[in-house]
Structure 1
Amino acid sequence: MKKKVFSVSLGILTLCSLVTGCGTNSGNNHVTTINFWYGQGGIGGTTYEQLIKEFNETHKNIHVIGTFVASSGSIVPQKLITAIAGSKAPDCTELDSFLVPQFAQKGALIDLTPYIQAQGLKKSDFIPAIWQANTFDGHLYAYPHDTDVRFLYWNKDLFKKAGLNPNQPPKTIAQLDQDAAKLTVHNSAGQITQAGFIPWGDQGSFDTWAWAFGATFNQNSEGEINLADSASIKSLQWQQKYAKEYGIAKLNAFTATLQNTGLSAFDAGKEAMTVDGVWNIATLQQQAPKLQYGVEAVPTVDGQGSTWSGGISEVIPKGAKHPEAAAEFLNWLVAPKQMLIWDKATTHLPTRMSMLKNLGTPGHVVVSPAGDKLSAELLPTTYTRPNSPLNAEIWDGTTSLVSTVTNDTSQNPATALKAFSNKINQEIKNGWY
């Protein structure tokens, strides 16, 4: 991708020079103190502090101070941008991986290439798509810390009740449609009391189904993305077909009946199939322990199955006072031993290829043996969202697009998607990010 430089609010680009810091001063008694931001409360925050304590006890020349920055699960982007612009950046911080390209393009992150080369880390050490998600313009800007996958969940009891094989989930889109029809139940008034499947529910995003239909989101050398290829259009038309066939008003009324339960339709035993993240296994263990269910790859047109992944990464912001010490801490944090501790505590998945072979075996269970085994099979070929500074806008825009064409079935999915794709690519051409 041809690299472009644009003006950015809050003065971020005034921080573009690489700050080398004072290093770790190994070999003498000087201690370098670094600040690490994290946005996860609960078990995530507790585990970060546990690992920080272990690092401090085993590294004499570096002392890490962890700071919880209240957020919705990861660092709030605006808080980090403000800190960088105000020359108050932490030495390192966690960041949602899909935001890495945006921050890198704005000149807000330090290129980690020289650090990882010195540390002996290689692209082949990590899951290919996860490594790629943390790069921009051919350079690595984040240490890949954890990841996830999406599964098809199916309710075995509801399959059995409908006369379907409870151990045979659909593998193709056609089979999914056939099963959904048999599993949808109406009452005498015509209301849906049990949904067979709702494509846009839970983790059934635009991306999920575009990949299932064969989309690739190819990018050209200028970073423009083909969001409206024939596969993406077909996937959106397919979602609209569900809204037409089952009635969007009836589907919305059905989901509304569960809003006060605190459970999704699937978790409540009212939806036979859904696409959700691997993390939902832990939710089911706690909130629906009697639910008999299975997990499988997301059905595709060709029956080969697919999934996609996100995750949390660790970055060094521009303006960090001690980047060398920060890089040493982050390299330690994403090493296999520490990564396993993190994954087992948070039920996230590892990003290292070497850890997949043992995932789900005794001592290496992070979610469940079955969930881990399937994750290990899917992660080497998982998809990640387009490597673009406009990832956040693309995500919000496609989510809104799915809602528009399903709630208003008079809308033409092909026309709407092409218009959105053209808008995004025009922004990329003009550098509006």
Structure 2
Amino acid sequence: MARWTRAAAASALAMLALGAGAEAKTKVTWWDFLSGGDGLRMKAMIQAFEKDNPDIEIDATTLEWGIPFYTKVQTAAAIGQGPDIMTYALSRIPLGVSTGSLRPFSDAELSSVGLAAKDYVPSDWDAAHVDGKLYAVPLDIHSIILYYNKDLLKKAGLLGDDGRPKGLDGLTNFDAALAKLTDPASGRYGLSIHDGQPDGSSVWRIFYTLLKQQSGTFLKDGKVLEGENGTKAETALGAIADWVGRGWAPKATSYPASLALFTSGKAAMHVNGVWEVPTMVDLAKADKLGFAWGAVQFPTLFDRPATWADSHAFAVPARKGNAVSPETMKAVMTVIAWMDRHGIDWASAGHIPAYRPVTDGPAFLALKPNADYAGLARTAEFDPKSTVTGVASPTYDAATNFMEPAVNGQLDAKSAIAQTRDQIQDALQ
């Protein structure tokens, strides 16, 4: 009987110990907008994090990308609800700050997990700040890149011995290459871009790249495309419209169709985000591509190298009356630091890790094709800091309403830029 009592007591103590261990876990509520390949990779990273950090449990939820996500964050924060940590586009930080939805990070919080400004590319780090305060910690830099068919470029004499395109810098050279690569008889285009519905996001990214390559400014001191910036904007948009008007790129092409033109060999080059690298890798591995491919930084067509860019980042909501507790915030910082230091896993989604010790490391430098376009991080151009720019903003609406029709020949570039200017200027009032 005594033996049974001792065994029962030992069992009870063990159960209590297990219960105490379970209670010691810190739960971190996580929201993201990552779907497709990005979503799968992030879920795997969360599982790996929990394995490395058994005292922290991440309760993750994936919500719809775009306006629905940011609206839900704003609504939840206003009533003291929502996550402890969330993914956030740096281009949306100004709007999030203006609505009181975001909580800044302190220097002490960063240093507690060994993070510092020197660990990040300056343009990425700057985009995470508003009025000198850090509102997000970058995870990556993502941008548009030039995908190319090595077989077709080699045949056209446009492939270097290193397997990279040659002779594409300068608008005149780029146009000549498109003309050379286009073959109407076989139905092949020199280039495919997403220039059709449902939105003008891709047109905006190319337009902004070409504007910044001319050292143009979209928004400054509350003025949209003022003075010579308007002329540079017309030049940028006119260049894209010319590719379509001359038949070097197809009209009104949906996003999936623009990608399919390239993967089927019906377009020699393709402009898209780094996020389609996994698509290309998977098709090549499955032997479903039919040609050798590569990806490089978008060519410099004007005066200086520059490429539109944004960043997935981690932010914490400013939950009214229910701020994230110090204990949970400690766990949140552990999550952020771990994710950034394991950025090589995120790089498999095509992104360039924001954490420089990763991008400067041998594993990333050997990662193809990422390493071939990693230089764009140094010339990245983020959208202007404003409540009317960035992902799912009035600026993207204007790109859909005016810039995309101009590319497809329904408006001239001058009229499209004038209407874009008016719409965004009104939105600033």
Give the TM-score category using the shorter length. Answer: 0.7 to 0.9
Alignment map for 1:361-376 (pairs within 5 Å): 361=362, 363-364=363-364, 369-376=367-374
1:335-374 → structure 2 map (5 Å cutoff): 335=337, 338-340=341-343, 342-344=345-347, 346-358=349-361, 361=362, 363-364=363-364, 369-374=367-372
Change (3 A) 1:75 1:47: farther
The question of 1:141 aligning with 2:140 is answered no
Secondary structure in structure 1 of the residue aligned to 2:188? strand
CA distance in 1, matches of 2:300, 2:43: 39
Contact 1:100 1:141 in 2 (8 A): yes
Matched, 1:269 2:272: no
Structure 2 partner of 1:407: 408
Residues 224 and 141 (structure 1 numbering): CA distance in 2 closer, same or farther, change over 3 Å? farther
2:251 counterpart letter in structure 1 = N
Contact 1:74 1:94 in 2 (8 A): no
Structure 1 residue identity aligned to 2:402: L
Matches within 5 A, 1:56-205: 56-57=53-54, 59=55, 63-72=56-65, 76-116=69-109, 119=112, 121-165=115-159, 167-187=165-185, 193-198=187-192, 203=202, 205=205
Which deviations, in whole Å up to 9, do the C-alpha atoms of 1:366-416 show, x marking residues without a partner? xx734232333221221111221112111231243221112344x332233
| C-alpha displacement of 1:342 | 4.0
Q: Which one has a bigger Cα radius of gyration?
A: 2
What displacement does 1:87 show? 2.4
SS of equivalent residue, structure 2 residue 41: helix
Give me the whole-angstrom Cα distance separating, in 2, the residues matched to 1:31 and 1:162. Answer: 61
1:270 Cα offset (Å): 0.8
**Deviation for aligned residue 1:107:** 0.7
Matched residue of 2:422: which SS? helix
**Compared with structure 1, are the counterparts of its residues 225 and 301 closer, same or farther at alpha carbon in structure 2 (3 Å cutoff)?**
same
Once residues 337 and 370 of structure 2 are traced to their aligned partners in structure 1, the CA distance between those partners, rounded to angstroms, is: 19
Q: Which residue of the partner structure matches residue 15 of structure 2? A: none
More helix by share: 2
* Secondary structure, counterpart of 2:414 in structure 1: helix
Uncovered stretches (5+) of structure 2, i.e. residues with no partner: 1-22, 196-200
The one-letter code of the counterpart of 1:239 is I
Q: Are the aligned partners of 1:233 and 1:414 in contact in 2 as well (CA < 8 Å)?
A: yes
Within 2, Cα distance between the matches of 1:198 and 1:263?
A: 7
Matched, 1:329 2:328: no
Per the alignment, in what secondary structure is the counterpart of residue 74 of structure 2?
Answer: helix
String of CA shifts for 1:74-132, please: whole Å, max 9, x gaps. 98122222322332222221122222221111111112245546546433321112112
Q: Structure 1 242/422 Cα, relative in aligned 2: closer, same or farther at 3 Å? A: same
The answer to whether the 8 A contact 1:233-1:413 is kept is: yes
Contact 1:151 1:275 (8 Å CA) reproduced? yes
Confirm or deny: 8 A CA contact 1:38 1:75 kept in the other structure.
no
- Is the alpha carbon distance of 1:169 and 1:347 closer, same or farther for their aligned partners in structure 2, counting shifts above 3 Å? same
Residue 417 (structure 2) pairs with residue 427 (structure 1): no
What value does the CA root-mean-square deviation take over the aligned residues? Answer: 3.2
Distance 1:413 1:344, change over 3 A: closer
- Read off the aligned partner of 1:350 and give its amino acid letter: P
Residue 44 in structure 1 maps to residue 41 in structure 2: yes
Cα gap change, 1:178/1:340 in structure 2, threshold over 3 Å: closer, same or farther? Answer: same
Number of matched pairs:
379
Change (3 A) 1:356 1:278: same
| Contact kept in structure 2, 1:89 and 1:317, CA below 8 Å | yes
Cα pair 2:86 2:314 within 8 Å, conserved? yes
1:386–1:324 distance in 2 versus 1, CA, 3 Å: farther
Q: 1:309 and 2:309 equivalent?
A: yes
The C-alpha deviation readout for 1:31-86, integer Å capped at 9, x for no partner, is 654322233354134224314414642x5xxx443221332489812222232233
Q: Matched residue of 2:424: which SS?
A: helix
Correspondent of 2:387 among 385, 389, 394: 389
Deviations 1:256-291 (A, max 9, x none): 8x84xx952112211112222223332112124542
Instruction: Give the secondary structure class of the aligned counterpart of 1:229.
Output: helix
CA, structure 1 residues 196+125, in 2 after alignment: closer, same or farther (shift >3 Å)?
same
Asked if structure 1 preserves the Cα contact closer than 8 Å seen for 2:174 and 2:301, the reply is no
| Partner AA of 1:92 in structure 2 | I
2:251 corresponds to 1:252 = yes
**Cα distance change on mapping 1:301 and 1:46 into 2, 3 Å:** closer
Aligned-partner residue type, residue 286 of structure 1: D
Distance 1:294 1:172, change over 3 A: farther
The equivalent of 2:236 in structure 1 is 235
Instruction: Please state whether the residue corresponding to 1:295 is helix, strand or coil.
Output: strand
Between the aligned partners of 2:97 and 2:402, the Cα distance in structure 1 is 27
Which residue of structure 1 lines up, in the alignment, with residue 225 of structure 2? 226
* 1:15 equivalent in structure 2: none
